[in-house]
Chains A and B, each alone.
Chain A
Amino acid sequence: MRDYLLVFINGRRHLVRGADCWLTLSDFLRGRLGLVGTKIVCSEGDCGSCTVLVGQPAGEHLQYRSIDSCIALMFQLDGRHIVTVEGLGGSEELTPVQQSLVGCHASQCGFCTPGFVMSMTGLLEESRQLDEEDWPQGLTGNLCRCTGYVSIFEAGKQLGDLQVQSLNDRYPPETMLNELAAESQAPFGIETEIYGQPGRLFGPTRLSDALEFLKRNLSAKVVAGATDVGVQINKGIIAPSVVLDLNRIEGLGDAGIEHGADGPTLIAGARATWSQIETICREEVPELARIVSVFGSPQIRHMGTIGGNIINASPIADSLPFLLVMEAELELCSARGKRVVPITDFYLAYKQFDLRPGELLARIRVPLLSATQHLRLYKVSRRRDLDISTFTAAILMQLQDNRVVDIRFALGAVGPTVVRARKTEAFLKGKLFDEATMRAAANIAASEISPVSDVRGAADYRYQLTRNVLMKFYHQQQVSEAHEIIHV
């Protein structure tokens, strides 16, 4: 067991000990290392000014992805290489991304600029073939209040012609990989005073060790992506002194689609990130990939996990309507063994769910679509990207001779938990799929929800959206059918 974390920052090896292990990455960079190019605005992962790149071993290379350093905790980053804006160019030279931004007048006040530099560098690490659309889509996690973004996109477009050095060239990975490999099998355990209490941080590599720790520390905060935990810590809502970090456990980060006798199934470890799932589902469930692409931002999707979204149990959690209509199954493990709970039975009340003390969500199984099912997912928010939902919904419908054979309808942000609208479903089953039926169903749906007015919208808005989403679904089906006919 190690009593320190091993991280590389801009190619330099750092051993992090004691209370520093609880710091956010941005506090560590700015406060401990004086790397003040990384800026802090919101401390909640909503503006991207603190964006840095995190390199994770992947074969013979490091795979670099952008994250928000303000909500990433040091202990999550054990075994990673972090690159900040200071680690990009030399003292005199600018990287092509930097040159291009200067040339396009893409900085005004400059406070957001280092974050944009890092996000753009990260996009180029992910793909060298970026088209025009990829720049706005790839920069949703970075807010700029001055430029109106147009000049930043122009800088991005110019990069196509420039020779961009990859970070694996700039930071040869061999030495780092060797050092990391030497330490990777050892769990870390850190004990120190934190938040005025005895703190304990455990980073196991095996699930069984994690469950054993959890058994002995029932109140431990379980952390994977920390995209919500990090915010709660920064805003003083929680101060978890005992933490179980899932980031190094073998297998929990895997995700893939299995093709069994019952059709395809998405199997995801609890720590699988949304960007992994987005990639996996692009072919098989494009509707899911489409909606995942507006969950949070690239930075958030690189860190945020499917398990976190489920266990956070928010009524506005973006993935839950989908998981509810697909009737996903949750694999819950404890030192005593494992059990499988259908997600439709999992949520009991606001932020309450069927997870027993000492249990961990380990895996999620999602049966995917059959050819006759129609799936549509909805997320309404004040802003299209990087916004918490005002309203979410999922509709899965199976039709035969224009009659509803099967319907599953889930709604989020309209009550204390994400719900399946069972009465609406019952009403629709066997009915003719036409506008009158959907209108009648809409009224029933409105009777099944109990929305409140809050900062994201009035209750009446949510009532109206609940009604209208069924109408929208109907009309979307008509339009796409018309398209299909044209295609034939």
Chain B
Amino acid sequence: MKVQIDDSILIQKYISGDERALETLIERHNRRISSFIYSKVNDRGITEDIFQEAFIKVIRTLKRGTYNEEGKFLPWIMRIAHNLIIDHFRKNNRMPMYQGGDAYNMLSLMGDDKLDIESQIIKDQIDSDLRLLVEELPEDQREVLIMRIYKDMSFKEISENTGVSINTALGRMRYALINLRKIVSENNIALTN
């Protein structure tokens, strides 16, 4: 028949220098403590870390001789583990750990701004369709729109180049856009990416 040595005796043995007593204590309570930690943190790696940290505290306290025999060993280490779990969550609140998922994807931070091939083809198609629509505009409106959009000229430059006032250039641009929208809507053209 196997007799189980009481935790308090194992602690006394350990304090007296018997290192095997610690091994017995750890193995005896391993599953219970690990399960408790895991039930709170739900991560095996973190469970392992907290378990280790809890026992390091136990070892240091016992070696320093500051262990209070009033309570029992298991409730004591459980309380240590519980405090470490709270510390873990506090630390994570200050410094949240992001994991890959739909809400947050690390790759999205690393990507470049270039369009993928499919989006680029669609964009080229829209650009070429728009060019054809611009050709349908009256000459004066088309001229202003091309200068403004494709040549990136200011309205001041447009007015100097076309010999009309800035207000006229602005008005022609406005009508150009209105007419473009009209053509798009009348012909049910889709210009979306």
**Do the two chains belong together in a single complex?**
no
